[in-house]
Amino acid sequence: MLTINIASQGLMTRADVLKRFIEPTNPNVIPLDSDTPLDVSLSVKLLNIEGVNEDEEQVELTLWLGMRWNVPVFGWKEDVATFDEISVPASLVWVPDLTILNSISYPDLLVADRVVVGSDGAVTFVPSLKVKVKCQNLRHFQGATCRLRAGSWTHSTKDVTLSIPEGADPLEYFQSEKYSVQVVSQTVKDEKYSCCKNTYDELSLVFTVRDKSLND
């Protein structure tokens, strides 16, 4: 059997990509190469409702925050490697400090240790969170109305703007035997807070939660 040493032919290995394009960058600095803000595509994926506290009007749920942005210097030509993406530790690259802003307690970060970098320079980061938010009318048979507000704590729209990917479905991976969920709206708009002079992009996801055991 004839074996071919890919590295000897001049093709890059994953280790080459890591050393040449990713390791030399500073993970503590946002990768801006001009005055243009970095666009982060953000999608909220609801996974499950972990619990409901009717007295406190609180809902605890798990979700994914799907983030995608582009760092051109991370890219490589597809004809110099046999792969078009690489999985690396999240600690090696800058990642947005996006979170659920209106979580009653600080969100529990369940999984957030890897990112995927594509040959086109696209970086994908999908942390898993457990959050608790206020919802109105939890006892109502028609269901409670909840709102998730996602955004950055520190990066204004001068640095980071948010966008929702076309066709994004917040319920794509949702599963619950006890509760049904319907999305009312998902929008992005820039917000002005009294604490700060600049505006901040914020994704707002409004949805209803209903106990399946309740009759209409």
pLDDT digits (tens, 9 = 90+) for 36-80: 999 999 999 999 999 999 889 999 999 999 999 999 999 998 788
* Structural domains of the chain sorted by starting position, each given as residue range(s) with its CATH number in brackets: 14-23+35-211 (2.70.170.10)
Is the pLDDT at 5 greater than 70? The verdict is no
Instruction: Using pLDDT thresholds of 50, 70 and 90, give the confidence band for residue 141.
Output: low
What DSSP element (H or E) covers 15? helix 14-17
pLDDT digits (tens, 9 = 90+) for 83-97: 999 999 999 999 999
What DSSP element (H or E) covers 14? helix 14-17
pTM: 0.89
**Residue-level pLDDT at 6:** 39
- Both tokens of residue 130? 């457990």
Pairing relationship of beta strands 128-136 and 58-70 according to DSSP bridges:
antiparallel
Report yes or no: 40 and 68 within 8 Å, Cβ to Cβ: yes
The 3-class SS string of 69-127 reads: EECHHHCCCHHHECCCEEEEEHHHCCCCCEEECCCCCCCEEEECCEEEEECCCEEEECC
Coil, helix or strand for 31? coil
Tokens 């619990």 found at: 51
Coil, helix or strand for 21? helix
